[in-house]
Amino acid sequence: MAKLTVLCQFNQGCLGCCGHDFDSLEKIKEAIKRNTQEFESINQNDELELLKFRDRAQSYDLRFGVCRNLIEKNGRLFCPLHPALHQERDLRDGHCDANHLCRTAKEFANWSPDQQKQFLQFINDKHLDNIGYSLQIENNTLLKEFLTVQFGNLFTLSL
């Protein structure tokens, strides 16, 4: 998962950088379901248990392309190791590249507040579920489409 950007938790959460070479939609759902079941079986208030959960697999040992730590709660995708959930202690340290920022988020960070608002509305209008949203953030589809609508094809060529 990336540095903090509103896109990470927009549209019920993004898993775009919490894996790679994603399998089919059904397999992605299965991976998240199994991750969530494993997470729910531990004492989530115990940091050692959380670290044990994290270390039950190497970071490269993905489940159908999805990091084994990525879970879903109340329809929202997130990482239970994120510092926002642990008084700013980052339990991902040493596991994944927590400083990674995807191409879409990097571009988004450089836009004006007005352009950012338009992009969020553009996403809302698509009515994507969180996995569809994640995949289209990860492969730059939403970014390219948005820039094409705003500026024409010229701006998509550099991506």
Residue 65 or 132: which CB sits closer to ligand SF4?
A: 65
Query: What are the phi and psi torsion angles at 68 (to 5°)?
Result: -75, -5
Using the contact rule CB under 6 A, the part of the chain among 41-49, 63-71, 123-131, 140-148 near ligand SF4 is: 63-71
Is 102 a binding residue for ligand SF4 by CB under 6 A? The answer is: no
Q: Could you say which of 11, 69, 104, 134 contacts ligand SF4 (CB under 6 A)?
A: 69
Element (H, E) at 48: helix 47-54
Nearer to ligand SF4, 57 or 128 (CB): 57
CB of 113 to ligand SF4, least distance (A): 27
Amino acid at 29: K
Does residue number 18 form part of the binding site for ligand SF4 (CB under 6 A)? yes
E strands, the chain, where? 71-73, 76-78
Beta bridge partners of 63: 66
- CB closer to ligand SF4 out of 49 and 145: 49
d(CA 15, CA 18): 5
